[in-house]
Amino acid sequence: MSYRRVLLTAATVAAGAVYGPLLVSRRPIRRRWLPTLAGLGRPDHVALTFDDGPDIRSTPAVLDGLDRHGWKATFFMLGTMVDADPGLAKEVADRGHEVAVHGYTHQSHLRRTPSDLRADIARAASAINRATGQVPYWFRPPYGSLAWGSWAGAHHAELHTVLWSAWGRDWRPSRAPSEVVRDVAGQLAPGATVLLHDSDCTSAPQCWRATVGAFDGLAELFDRQGLTVGPLRDHGLGV
């Protein structure tokens, strides 16, 4: 191999290492080219997911709202929140929901080393398993920011990485439930994975109230499109 080709190959690998994670973190790109990463599953189903809990101030209200609609969901939990209230994490699992890994701390993976990410993901998975008795299957990084160390850490913990294809932007301040519904509706497609939050620990105070308030509107939206609601384990991603 020529010296010039060696340099070109090295530059290509370096560019992929820097820009690859940023590209797959962009929702339109992953929806088209990486549908499993985007959470696009069965066309008659919508996977409902929640990030950042469990939180005693808000998760019980989310659970009660889900019960009213007969919905089960997947909860991507932070290890710090689980260790702060393992009983609440167990309640989520005991009420029939799926638990998953969101990391131990809520920090962007783009600023962390591979060894740090591997330890963080493993620590979170262990905390969730210890509290709930469930072995997590899914992983989603904070902010949806995937670094190569995220993939490696998740693989080492025997987790499958999934992001989302629609969200309610429910972390923003002063959101109305109708705005959450509108944002989900604008991105909803058959087989979507919807991202919401059951805690405001990393976002605007009290923003979870708009999430809970949006459940009735979301139910009408899903019904109009003929979508059943459930967790990722029922979504047919084929991972």
* Catalytic pick among 97, 102, 106, 197: 197
The torsion angle over the Cα atoms of residues 134, 203, 152 and 234, rounded to 10 degrees, is: 40
Task: Identify which of 199, 204, 188 has the alpha carbon closest to the alpha carbon of residue 63.
Answer: 199
Is residue 223 annotated as a catalytic residue, yes or no?
A: no
Query: How many C-beta neighbours within 10 Å does residue 229 have?
Result: 20
**What number of residues does the chain have?**
239
Cα(144)–Cα(56) distance, integer angstroms = 24
Residues 168 and 192 sit within 8 Å (Cβ to Cβ): no
Q: Sign of torsion, CA 142 38 167 22?
A: positive
Angle between helices 114-132 and 148-156 (to 10 degrees): 40
Strand 193-197, strand 138-139: pairing = unpaired
Side chain identity at 6, as an amino acid letter? V
Is residue 51 annotated as a catalytic residue, yes or no?
A: yes
Could you give the 3-state DSSP secondary structure of residue 166?
strand
* Catalytic pick among 45, 51, 109, 170: 51
What are 83's two structure tokens?
A: 């260790």
Rg of the chain, C-alpha, whole Å: 18
What residues act catalytically? Answer: 51, 197
